[in-house]
């Protein structure tokens, strides 16, 4: 379930999870206190304070819980793990120039963990890798003029053709800045 | 008669919506704000039309260059000369009446000129070919000129326009606000509803002016250096440090992020000030002023450094530690929001609400703002940022934050309108505006977020991949409803009626 939560659609449902109950309570309170009965309520101050405490506690617990749960899914954590363990990494270096990529190796064996390292040679570019089923796996931001590359560690398990797209607007042919990676079955 | 009133009076159609009331002796508070508000609606009309062109170019497979031109103009017009200028106009009107000082002299004139001339120059530059999007994407303007995609002249013109707009937002407006609050003599005849700094309705205005000044200063320094080099006042080599992409990008986002937060602080404070006026039992009191102020302070303190979430996917060039900090601070703003949610709902619960269109627009704008806040927090989490950055999620977030704040100001404007113009707005049209807005605003926001969740790239003139067109069509559909709601609003401004009740009552109610 956490795998789903920390995907793009998981983000969507998380946002709705924060919106829908709030919107429902909002429309209930407004309707109740403007149409049904707009007179002052007799709810005691102590009860309001208790409600306030409960509300803020629930919010705090959800916020902390979600962020702790996300740790495992942060590429920054995966990179730190790869650096400290003896994990075998398949290195792929690339550079971006308007509007194409120069990639050191476009073929990856299924099951291998890849470290992508990329730089931009002219303006801001992105490097987003899409699963063959169309969802986005990750994106990287490439800023020109930096000494070190932007890096990311990712493990590819399913064979197929993975689309690469630039997600940082880079001028009139930005949408055509695409490439492909191929994940093949382990021989 | 003020030059501002004269301009309003002589503007076709839009001038009729905002012709200034001079019978109450309040022209010194009314004139410049009325002009700014009127100009903001002119820009909204332009931005709205451009908003439809984008999906149309995609539906009919039209020129991609047209898509990027409209993308740049639509975003820029919506964010600055519409949204910020509307806020500036209504905000100055509020402040004038709260502290009893006139909105006159060269500063409001300068704020108006820098904003509108700046936005005009940028528009011309974009029409000359400078397609760089709302965010400029530095160093794209220079790289594009080197590649011959657009001319260096368009870059110089565009930068000059942006520079003027920034001068308005970072210098003219905040200085004017601070000057009105802390300097000059109070004129009892101009006091409409006195407020002190302990009042959440005033605190937010000052916090936000300070935020704009402080967060904008690095960008002013960097921008001035770049401009001086572009105009040949200093040699390019002396501006080398400022033209470094990393310097420019960080200076830009420290400001751009805090600009949104400053506008949020301001609109929250306007809501805290307006809501009590519409309480059914006439108490004119928030559930708790202390809680309201606490929410504003939390919002301010957490938001200042949360801009780091813009660069999470730049790792390790932005060290992980800074990204974690940006992540935590972004969710911290959610605590401030949770407190304000409680304050607003508890206030309505305790005292009842007179659900007039103005306050309802403020409240539904605020609901949309909360949705936007949730989407912003989610994408500021490091794990989610890697899956959402650069997608339509971000466009949905940007559009929604601007839209929600603007609608809140349009709601507050209902309250100021009788003082400004001596006329009142039709409540039936008002409630249609609010209803259409709820459907259009929420629908467009959720459609764009869904597009982002599905991986649909933003600022991308090829929607017809991986089935993304459906999100484009949905956004188009709800955008049309949104457009209808604005048309109803504009119609109600055109059809406003003279106030029949004695004006004194209206003024006192403000
Ligand atoms: Cu690119």
Name every chain A residue with its beta carbon within 8 A of the beta carbon of B324.
76
Q: Residue A49 is part of which domain span? A: 2-73
Per-residue three-class SS string for B392-428: HHHHHHHHHHHHHHHHHHHHHHHHHHHHHHCEECCHH
Residue indicated by tokens 């997608």: B391
User: Would the pLDDT of B326 be above 90?
Assistant: yes
Rounded Cα distance, A100 and B226, in Å: 29
Nearest residue to B134 (alpha-carbon basis) of B63, B60, B51: B51
Nearest residue to A37 (alpha-carbon basis) of B386, B348, B335, B500: B348
Q: Residue B142 is part of which domain span? A: 1-194
Percent of chain B with pLDDT over 90: 59
Chain B residues 110-129 with CB within 8 Å of chain A? none
Is A81 found in the same domain as A30? no
Is A175 found in the same domain as A84? yes
Summarize chain A as % helix, strand, coil (round to 5).
40, 30, 30
Domain end position, chosen among A54, A73, A92: A73
Q: Would B254 be classed as within a structural domain?
A: no
Q: What is the distance in A from the centroid of ligand 1 to the CA of B409?
A: 37
User: Total structural domains in chain B?
Assistant: 2
* Burial degree of B123 (CB within 10 A; 0-12, 13-18, 19+): buried
Q: Would B461 be classed as within a structural domain?
A: yes
Q: How far is CA A100 from CA A180, B121, B342, B377, in A?
A: 11, 32, 50, 32
Q: What is the distance in A from the centroid of ligand 1 to the CA of A164?
A: 11
User: Would the pLDDT of B506 be above 50?
Assistant: no
Is A81 found in the same domain as A65? no
pLDDT band of A178, cuts 50, 70, 90: very high
pLDDT band of B502, cuts 50, 70, 90: very low
Q: Give the mean pLDDT of B7-12.
A: 91
Is A94 found in the same domain as A33? no
Q: Give the mean pLDDT of A116-128.
A: 95
Is A157 found in the same domain as A118? yes
Is A136 found in the same domain as A81? yes
pLDDT at B500: 64
Q: Domain containing A152 — which CATH number?
A: 2.60.40.420
Residue A169 Rama label (left phi>0; alpha psi -120 to 50; beta): beta
Residue indicated by tokens 């890798």: A129
Q: Would B416 be classed as within a structural domain?
A: yes
Rounded Cα distance, B150 and A152, in Å: 34
Residue indicated by tokens 């009314």: B30
Structure-model confidence comparison of residues A65 and B191, the more confident one: A65
pLDDT at B157: 95
* Burial degree of B187 (CB within 10 A; 0-12, 13-18, 19+): middle
CB neighbour list of residue B102: distance below 8 Å, 6 or more residues apart: B28, B29, B96, B187, B190
Q: Do A175 and B461 touch (CB under 8 A)?
A: yes
Interchain CB contact of B245 with A (< 8 Å)? yes
pLDDT at B504: 47
For A31-58, how does the pLDDT look when each residue is reduced to its tens digit (9 = 90+)?
A: 999 888 877 887 888 899 899 999 999 9
Q: Would B215 be classed as within a structural domain?
A: no
User: Total structural domains in chain A?
Assistant: 2
Percent of chain B with pLDDT over 70: 98
Is A34 found in the same domain as A122? no
Domain end position, chosen among B161, B179, B194: B194
Domain end position, chosen among A73, A97, A131: A73
Domain end position, chosen among B167, B194, B221: B194
Q: Quick check: B278 and B102 in contact, CB under 8 A?
A: no
Q: Give the mean pLDDT of B320-333.
A: 92
ipTM of the complex in this document: 0.95
Q: Do A169 and B363 touch (CB under 8 A)?
A: no
Q: Would B323 be classed as within a structural domain?
A: no
* Burial degree of B445 (CB within 10 A; 0-12, 13-18, 19+): buried
Domain end position, chosen among A73, A101, A125: A73
Q: Give the mean pLDDT of B166-185.
A: 91
Domain end position, chosen among B176, B194, B212: B194
Rounded Cα distance, B359 and B267, in Å: 13
Q: What is the mean pLDDT of chain B?
A: 90
Percent of chain A with pLDDT over 70: 100
Interchain CB contact of B232 with A (< 8 Å)? no
Burial B409-443, CB ≥16 within 10 A → b, else e: bbbbbbbbbbbbbbbbbbeebbbbbbbbbbebbbb
What residues flank ion ligand 1 with Cβ within 5 A? Answer: A 125, 166, 170, 177
Does the predicted TM-score (pTM) go above 0.80?
yes
Nearest residue to B83 (alpha-carbon basis) of B413, B395, B370: B413
């Amino acid at each position: 379930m956490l795998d789903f939560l920390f995907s793009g659609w998981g983000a969507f449902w998380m946002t709705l999870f924060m919106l829908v109950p709030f919107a429902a309570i909002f429309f209930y309170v407004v309707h109740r206190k403007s149409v049904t009965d707009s007179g002052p309520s007799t709810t005691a101050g102590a009860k309001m304070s208790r409600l306030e405490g409960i509300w803020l506690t629930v919010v705090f617990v959800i916020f902390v819980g979600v962020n702790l749960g996300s740790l495992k899914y942060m590429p920054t954590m995966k990179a730190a793990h790869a650096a400290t363990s003896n994990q075998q990494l398949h290195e792929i270096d690339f550079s971006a120039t308007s509007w194409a990529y120069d990639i050191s190796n476009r073929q990856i064996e299924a099951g291998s963990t890849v470290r992508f390292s990329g730089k931009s040679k002219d303006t801001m570019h992105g490097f987003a890798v899409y699963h063959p089923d169309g969802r986005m796996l990750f994106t990287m931001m490439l800023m020109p003029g930096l000494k070190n590359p932007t890096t990311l560690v990712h493990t590819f398990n399913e064979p197929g053709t993975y689309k690469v797209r630039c997600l940082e607007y880079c001028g009139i042919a930005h949408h055509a800045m695409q490439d492909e990676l191929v994940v093949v079955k382990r021989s | 008669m003020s030059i501002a009133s004269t301009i309003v009076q002589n503007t076709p159609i839009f001038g009729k919506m905002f012709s200034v009331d001079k019978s109450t002796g309040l022209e010194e508070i009314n004139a410049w704000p009325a002009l700014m508000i009127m100009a903001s609606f002119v820009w909204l009309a332009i931005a709205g039309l451009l908003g439809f062109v984008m999906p149309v170019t995609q539906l009919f497979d039209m020129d991609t260059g047209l898509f990027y031109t409209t993308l740049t103009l639509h975003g820029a017009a919506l964010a600055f000369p519409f949204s910020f200028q509307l806020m500036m106009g209504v905000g100055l009107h509020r402040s004038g009446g709260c502290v009893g000082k006139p909105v006159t002299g060269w500063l409001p004139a300068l704020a108006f000129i820098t904003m509108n001339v700046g936005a005009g120059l940028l528009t011309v530059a974009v029409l000359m070919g400078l397609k760089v999007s709302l965010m400029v994407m530095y160093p794209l303007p220079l790289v594009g000129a080197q590649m011959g995609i657009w001319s260096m002249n368009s870059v110089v013109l565009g930068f000059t326009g942006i520079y003027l707009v920034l001068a308005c937002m970072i210098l003219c407006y905040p200085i004017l606000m601070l000057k009105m609050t802390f300097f000059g003599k109070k004129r009892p005849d101009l006091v409409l509803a006195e407020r002190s700094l302990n009042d959440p309705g005033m605190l937010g205005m000052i916090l936000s002016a300070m935020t704009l000044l402080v967060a904008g200063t690095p960008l002013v320094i960097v921008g001035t250096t770049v401009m001086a080099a572009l105009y040949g006042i200093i040699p390019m080599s002396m501006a080398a440090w400022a033209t470094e992409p990393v310097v420019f990008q960080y200076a830009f986002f420290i400001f751009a992020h805090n600009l949104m937060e400053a506008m949020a602080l301001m609109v929250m404070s306007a809501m805290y000030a307006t809501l009590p006026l519409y309480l059914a039992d006439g108490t004119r009191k928030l559930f708790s002023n202390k809680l309201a102020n606490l929410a504003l302070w939390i919002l301010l303190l957490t938001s200042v450094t949360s801009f780091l979430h813009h660069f999470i996917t730049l790792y390790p060039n932005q060290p992980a530690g800074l990204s974690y900090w940006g992540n935590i601070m972004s969710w911290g703003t959610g605590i401030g929001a949770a407190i304000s949610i409680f304050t607003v709902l508890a206030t309505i619960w305790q005292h009842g609400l007179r659900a007039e269109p103005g306050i309802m627009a403020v409240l539904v704008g605020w609901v949309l703002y909360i949705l936007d806040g949730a989407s912003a927090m989610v994408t500021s989490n490091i794990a989610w940022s890697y899956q959402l950055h650069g997608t339509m999620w971000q466009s949905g977030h940007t559009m929604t934050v601007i839209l929600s704040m603007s609608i809140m100001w349009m709601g507050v404007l209902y309250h100021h309108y009788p003082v400004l113009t001596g006329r009142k707005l039709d409540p039936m049209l008002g409630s249609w505006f609010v209803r259409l807005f709820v459907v259009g605003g929420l629908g467009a926001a959720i459609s764009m977020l869904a597009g982002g969740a599905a991986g649909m790239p933003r600022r991308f003139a090829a929607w017809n991949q991986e089935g993304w067109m459906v999100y484009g069509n949905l956004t188009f559909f709800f955008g049309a409803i949104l457009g209808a709601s604005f048309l109803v609003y504009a119609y109600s401004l055109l059809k406003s009626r003279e106030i029949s009740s004695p004006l004194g009552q209206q003024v006192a109610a403000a």
